[in-house]
């Protein structure tokens, strides 16, 4: 299988980290989003949506969503389980991973997307056509990131990891979201968020975080 990847982007990082946790490797094809390689005909022939990550299986099947890719990998490499292990934990991990995606990753993306000069006329991701960024959304995105931090910090007061006491895909999405929010979106984690800092220190130290 072959992973179309981008080192700077948070969604491909989620998949790389998930693979690293499972000890899975595959051929990777770098796609430079900033240069717009994801909008070149060659890549659109693989994924017409123009988004990474994209995983192409050996039989040519194309998987074009991060969590769908992770679900596939969990099926063929069940250990260690990262999507829960029984009816309740699977549902809880799913819910927490969605919270991290909607509350964290999308908020940071809103702030970054509408402030980065290179995306002035690429206001939406992928093959959406030329659409102007909306600078007024930057402050809303940053405010949403701050709410995300406050909520995550309160939740992490009660559990070691994002979806309870077991590391899961929810931690992967949360780490990629927090790192994207602090880096690209430039919203630092406030000093008073001691629970995020404790959790981040532990999760960022996992070898998979460097994948």
Ligand X SMILES: N[C@@H](CCC(=O)N[C@@H](CS)C(=O)NCC(=O)O)C(=O)O
**Which stretches of the chain bind ligand X, using CB under 6 A?**
9-11, 33, 38, 51-53, 65-66, 122, 125-126
CA distance 123 to 66: 21
Cβ-based nearer residue to ligand X, 109 or 203: 109
Q: Which residues of 106-130 are buried (b: 16+ CB within 10 A; e: fewer)?
A: bbbbbbbbbbeeebeebbebbeeee
Place of tokens 């969990």: 74
Residue 169 backbone dihedrals phi, psi, to 5 degrees: -60, -25
CB 200 within 8 A of CB 128: no
Beta bridge partners, 164, equal 161
Closest CA to 96 of 21, 156, 141: 156
Q: CB of residue 100 vs ligand X: minimum separation in angstroms? A: 12
Q: CB of residue 10 vs ligand X: minimum separation in angstroms? A: 5
Cβ-based nearer residue to ligand X, 68 or 91: 68
Residue 30 backbone dihedrals phi, psi, to 5 degrees: -70, 135
Cβ-based nearer residue to ligand X, 85 or 127: 127
Q: CB of residue 195 vs ligand X: minimum separation in angstroms? A: 26
Q: CB of residue 156 vs ligand X: minimum separation in angstroms? A: 23
Q: CB of residue 50 vs ligand X: minimum separation in angstroms? A: 6
Q: Which helix or strand (DSSP H or E) is residue 159 part of?
A: none
CA distance 77 to 24: 8
CA distance 202 to 174: 13
Report CA 104 to chain centroid distance, whole Å: 9
Cβ-based nearer residue to ligand X, 150 or 211: 211
Q: CB of residue 121 vs ligand X: minimum separation in angstroms? A: 11
Cβ-based nearer residue to ligand X, 21 or 101: 101
Cβ-based nearer residue to ligand X, 89 or 125: 125
């Amino acid at each position: 299988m072959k992973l179309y990847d981008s080192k700077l982007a948070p969604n491909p990082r989620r998949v790389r980290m998930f693979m690293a946790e499972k000890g899975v490797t595959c051929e990777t094809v770098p796609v430079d989003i900033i240069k717009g390689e994801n909008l070149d005909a060659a890549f659109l022939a693989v994924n017409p949506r123009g988004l990474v990550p994209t995983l192409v299986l050996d039989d040519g099947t194309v998987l074009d969503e991060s969590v769908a890719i992770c679900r596939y990998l969990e099926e063929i490499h069940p250990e260690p389980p990262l999507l829960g292990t029984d009816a309740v934990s699977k549902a809880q991990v799913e819910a927490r991973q969605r919270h991290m995606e909607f509350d964290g990753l999308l908020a940071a993306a809103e702030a970054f997307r509408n402030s980065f000069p290179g995306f002035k006329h690429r206001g939406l991701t992928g093959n959406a056509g030329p659409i102007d960024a909306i600078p007024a959304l930057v402050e809303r995105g940053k405010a949403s990131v701050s709410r995300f931090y406050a909520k995550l910090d309160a939740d992490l007061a009660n559990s070691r990891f994002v979806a309870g006491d077991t590391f899961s895909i929810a931690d992967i999405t949360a780490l990629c979201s927090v790192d994207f929010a602090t880096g690209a979106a430039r919203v630092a984690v406030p000093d008073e968020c001691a629970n995020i800092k404790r959790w981040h220190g532990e999760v960022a130290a996992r070898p998979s975080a460097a994948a």
